Amino acid sequence: MEAYLDNSATTRCSESVRDIMLQVMMEDYGNPSSLHLMGKKAEDYIKEAREKIAKTLKVTEKEIVFTSGGTESNNLAIIGSAMANQRAGKHIITTAIEHASVAAVVGFLEEQGFEVTILPVDENGQISLEELEAAIREDTILVSMMQINNEMGAIEPIAEAGALIKKKNPNTLFHVDAIQSYGKLRIYPKKMSVDMLSVSGHKLHGPKGSGFLYIKDKTKVKPILFGGGQQKGMRSGTENVPAIAGLGVACEEIYRNYDANYAHLREVKEAFLKGIATIEGTHINGCVGEDSAPHIVSVSFEEIDKSEALLHALEDRGIYVSAGSACSSNKPAVSATLKAIGVPKAMLTATLRFSFSVHTTIEEVEYALDALRELLPFLRKYRSH
């Protein structure tokens, strides 16, 4: 049996995504900038995808910019808005648990002379709205935070934060990294006072190398890619039509079946939590209720030296999990997120992330739990001292 429990790293493409991408690659392969019929067909795929995505967020089509994925979306939002608004101020606010594609970008801007405030989080991984309010200044041009943390699934109070930001300083832009939350939560940027929102296709059964950035109309953002002026100059380069078409289908599908998907994820997660609670020496990181993602669980293990040993022992049984963020898990480092929520030092390197999708079954979860019950005593017995 196999159990793929690493869906926060990437998901399997849906069949309908595969089918439309194959159609675009093999039949309707024109360049969307070409003036002939093949070009028009390609352009129609982009238009259709934009309409589908805009509908899920209740925004307009012109507010959607296609990118190569979450990292580019975050870079465009943060660097683009900082460069466009630096005359109004150079102060940026973010949090201590951001993904590297936000944290590293903010670090780059700091090197360019911007001032950065990093908000701490509590043991559940959530920011304090009072601390956010206190941090906002007259020269604060941007607040950037994720909605769902990719490592332990904390949900940040985005709507409350958005309202607070606009009340304290209406000129401060609010960027939300929704890479783990889009498709898992209902998101309406206009109701939540969100100016920019990043999404990645391969987290929601779409293709890798696909994503988009929602930019609220009239928000000042400078492009970071220059060239042929595609997408109204906001993101030059020939559009990746197969990926964009696939992304549109994936977004439409995941929200068409939203209620059933959400209920299934919660059911699978509850089964996992119930089982893990019976295994000695395990600790859940962050909260596990409605304030946590329906699809992510972070578990720290007592008396385990390295999470990689357990990860590979599970892999030998066809169980696939992650030792943190997949984007950086091949570079061994202590997780800033786990440190920020106060995970004991001894368990910082003994933590695994289990993440589920609509395809995950209760049987797969039980199989993984049984393997943990068997492997943990063995690994603890032979741990190094």
Q: Is 327 a catalytic residue?
A: yes
Judged by DSSP in three states, 64 sits in strand
Cα–Cα distance, 347 to 330 (Å, whole number): 19
**13, 251, 287, 327: the active-site residue:** 327
Cα–Cα distance, 271 to 228 (Å, whole number): 51
Residue with tokens 């793929």: 4
- The closest alpha carbon to 65, from 187, 207, 247, belongs to 247
Pairing of strands 115-119, 91-95: parallel
Q: What is the DSSP string of 259-299?
A: HHHHHHHHHHHHHHHHHHTTSTTEEE-S--STTB-SSEEEE
- Please state, as a whole number, how many other Cβ atoms lie within 10 Å of the Cβ of residue 285: 27
φ/ψ of residue 24, rounded to 5: -70, -40
Q: Which residues does 282 contact at the CB level (< 8 Å), separation at least 6?
A: 276, 299, 300, 301, 302, 372
Cα–Cα distance, 173 to 225 (Å, whole number): 21
- The closest alpha carbon to 337, from 103, 91, 73, belongs to 103
Strand ranges (E), the chain: 3-4, 64-67, 91-95, 115-119, 140-146, 173-177, 196-200, 211-215, 282-284, 296-301, 319-320, 351-355
Q: What is the DSSP string of 223-263?
A: -S--SS-TGGGTS-S---HHHHHHHHHHHHHHHHTHHHHHH
- In one-letter notation, the amino acid at residue 200 is S
Cα–Cα distance, 188 to 255 (Å, whole number): 13
What DSSP designation does 65 have? Answer: E
- In one-letter notation, the amino acid at residue 268 is V
Pairing of strands 211-215, 282-284: unpaired
Burial of 213 (C-beta count, 10 Å sphere; 0-12/13-18/19+): buried
Catalytic residues: 327
